[in-house]
Amino acid sequence: MDVQSVLLGFLMHKSMTGYDLKKAFSISFSFFSGLSYGSIYPALKKMENHGLVSKRTEIQDGAPNRKIYTITDAGRVAFLDSLRSPLILEQPKSPFLMKAFFFAHLSPEERHTIADKYLKSIEEFRGQLEAARPAVEAHADRFQYLCFQFGLRSFRDLARNVSETIHALNEKEAENGG
């Protein structure tokens, strides 16, 4: 899904400010998508220009005014069309495999440094996911929680695959004496 569809999906539940959308996004999609915070506000402006959302400004005393976005009927149609469109299998991208393919050009120490740092980053990210579990459990519906669990399994599997690759590197280097 593109950022527009994701934002429309959040707005299907209720009207939200840009800040509320960023917060909802951070609890859910930021872990599993290539979408970024920086794409939210430009997408909202574009969606407003295309009549998919409306914006109203709420005046506040002593605080910045709040811009509240509401999905329009056209936005609901666009979201449901996007949701109903067939999924296209995407080729997974792996920066680790792109580098590992050419590991023969590096020393064993360099290979291990790269692989170990990558595994550590995966484990740190998994830790962030686990830390977010209480918030996700408190706010997610059944389908959102299933997606969260799917993501956890994906990162667990990625860590296992990288660990097995590191193990295979170690075995081969032990056989060759370094």
For the residues 19-41, what does the mean pLDDT come to?
Answer: 74
Q: Which has the closest alpha carbon to 53: 35, 82, 74? A: 74
CA distances from 82 to 79, 111, 148 (A): 5, 42, 21
CA distances from 96 to 56, 119, 161 (A): 45, 10, 11
For the residues 131-152, what does the mean pLDDT come to?
Answer: 87
Model confidence at 147, pLDDT cuts 50, 70, 90, reads confident
Mean pLDDT of all residues belonging to the chain: 88
Model confidence at 19, pLDDT cuts 50, 70, 90, reads confident
Sheet containing strand 16-17, edge to edge, reads 16-17, 66-71, 53-58
The share of the chain scoring above pLDDT 70, in percent, equals 90
What is the model's pLDDT at position 51?
98
43 near 3, Cβ under 8 Å?
Answer: yes
